[in-house]
Structure 1
């Protein structure tokens, strides 16, 4: 958000807060309203696009607007750029976020983009948090052709979109287009925010490659 816009938001908040206090509105109410006002105009758009939105077009517009930020650069690259540019965007995330699980997650993703699946699997197995650990491992096992191993991890995938995503990827690798379409659609439907955006454009690319065969 531009500095001018932020300045106007906070200036307006101060004016409203002052007016409410003059009107003897209880201070708890004033600060509650102030928080809701500032959150709605500053943080809500980020949380909505990242976690809650079900509108792919709106998410994509938000991602495009904020593509210079590392966390949005990768979704933008998946939707609109080449694999080379996707790798660059992942490197930006690795340079910006040093949390252990984030590092293992995106090192694994970078290895997948480089088609170095053994390295990707080694990084995924160092993830601590579930269900992302099981999901990432299942994803890579599928790419390695270990479909039974991937399917054995599906009970660990507690987010509704995850089992469908893995089943869709398995169907893609097995050239089962009908199942792929069904599972991809289910995964996209159940996901929200950036995850929905990533699934939509990833499966879209896979569908194009299916149709080209």
Structure 2
């Protein structure tokens, strides 16, 4: 995909027209791509700035709108809203995976699905919008895109440790033996993808994948929790 088309498609996804399209191009450029080219900037510095812009906007919003919450509770809620998993959810909504500039090697080892790369790209895009259009434009953009995540965090619907939540749900009426079974793994040693199922007795409750055993287990537990909550609705 040529640069012009790439930028225009992302602008459409974001609902933002950039004055300086190079800012957006840099925001979607991974270091692995820039290292193979000459005079190409990558997004790590923008990511650094975007993290601070996002923190400021979310902090101000929580401070002004949740007057009954203590400093400690607001800090915990903010951490959920701006965590890597939340940013990854935003990246998926924008379909960023298919637009990020990265090396073939990075792509072949799962870079377009990697949570950290996609989350960092969201922060870089936020910084690009801030630099291009200013805080008065960036603030409503951030709040509109993070509205659902904010609501979920404030309603205690965002969980970072799904294994613990699943254990609590299953053991409400007594001890139950929960097993996480590694079904398979694939890919080169430096970029293995793991497939895990969570089970009680012979019943599969959920399945998940990840680029570490821990991540695949958490995703399996997350699916199990969602399946259980769906049945209870």
- TM-score in same-fold range (> 0.5): no
Where is the strand percentage greater, Structure 1 or Structure 2? 2
Question: Bigger radius of gyration, 1 or 2?
Answer: 1
Q: Which TM-score applies when normalising by structure 1?
A: 0.26
Where is the helix percentage greater, Structure 1 or Structure 2? 1
